[in-house]
């Protein structure tokens, strides 16, 4: 198989990229095979960009996420199992069970995980901050909702 690096064909088979923790990632370009004093090696160019591309693919593809893909997205967002669990409103043990393939991640949690990842990389909407604010509202001691008019029209006011 020919490798295409920036539009140019090279005689090099795809590289099975296992370091990301996923089983099915192969690179056709963006890497170089090298010899080191310890043996054969591989240099990956722009690893952050590669991981971002993998994450976007996982977050936007239609298939269900498997345990390794859940872990990959969590690691890319630099979250612990407890932090992700808090954002998804489940326990850290639930996240651990998803990542060990002891039980599948349910649809709503999977959707929110995808949205959290896309928000993490886009920087346009801080989905993580929004989820934390929603969690804080759940812990509020009042059910009273106050609204008032401002220069921008009607707005919710602090209770």
Question: How confident is the model at residue 2, as a pLDDT?
Answer: 44
3-state secondary structure of 35: strand
The answer to whether residues 63 and 96 touch, using CB atoms and an 8 Å cutoff, is no
Distance separating alpha carbons of residues 88 and 82, to the nearest angstrom:
10
Encode the chain (159 residues) as per-residue pLDDT tens digits. Answer: 444 455 444 567 899 999 999 999 999 899 999 998 999 889 999 999 999 999 999 999 878 999 999 999 999 999 999 999 999 999 999 999 999 999 999 999 999 999 999 999 987 777 778 777 777 776 766 677 778 888 988 888 765
Going from N- to C-terminal start, the domains of the chain cover: 9-130
Question: How confident is the model at residue 1, as a pLDDT?
Answer: 42
Distance separating alpha carbons of residues 6 and 47, to the nearest angstrom:
16
Question: How confident is the model at residue 4, as a pLDDT?
Answer: 45
Pick the CATH number of 9-130 from 3.40.250.10, 3.40.50.300, 1.10.260.40, 3.10.180.10: 1.10.260.40
Q: Using alpha carbons only, what angle is made at residue 68 by residues 34 and 22, rounded to the nearest 5 degrees? A: 20
CA dihedral over 139, 140, 145, 146, signed as positive or negative:
negative
Question: How confident is the model at residue 8, as a pLDDT?
Answer: 47
Question: How confident is the model at residue 5, as a pLDDT?
Answer: 53
Q: Using one digit for the tens of pLDDT, what is the confidence trace for 39-84?
A: 988 999 999 999 999 999 999 987 899 999 999 999 999 999 999 9
């Amino acid at each position: 198989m020919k490798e295409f690096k920036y539009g140019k064909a090279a005689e090099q088979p795809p590289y099975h990229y296992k370091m990301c923790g996923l089983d099915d990632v192969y690179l056709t370009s963006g890497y170089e095979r090298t010899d080191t004093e310890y043996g054969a090696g591989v240099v990956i160019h722009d690893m952050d960009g590669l991981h971002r591309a993998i994450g976007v693919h996982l977050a936007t593809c239609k298939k269900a996420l498997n345990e390794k893909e859940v872990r990959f997205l969590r690691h890319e967002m630099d979250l612990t199992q407890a932090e992700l669990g808090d954002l998804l409103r489940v326990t850290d043990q639930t996240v651990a069970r998803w990542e060990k393939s002891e039980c599948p991640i349910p649809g709503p949690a999977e959707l929110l995980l995808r949205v959290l990842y896309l928000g993490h990389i886009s920087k346009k909407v801080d989905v993580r901050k929004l989820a934390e604010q929603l969690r804080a509202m759940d812990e509020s001691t009042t059910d009273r909702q106050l609204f008032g008019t401002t220069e921008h029209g009607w707005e919710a006011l602090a209770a």
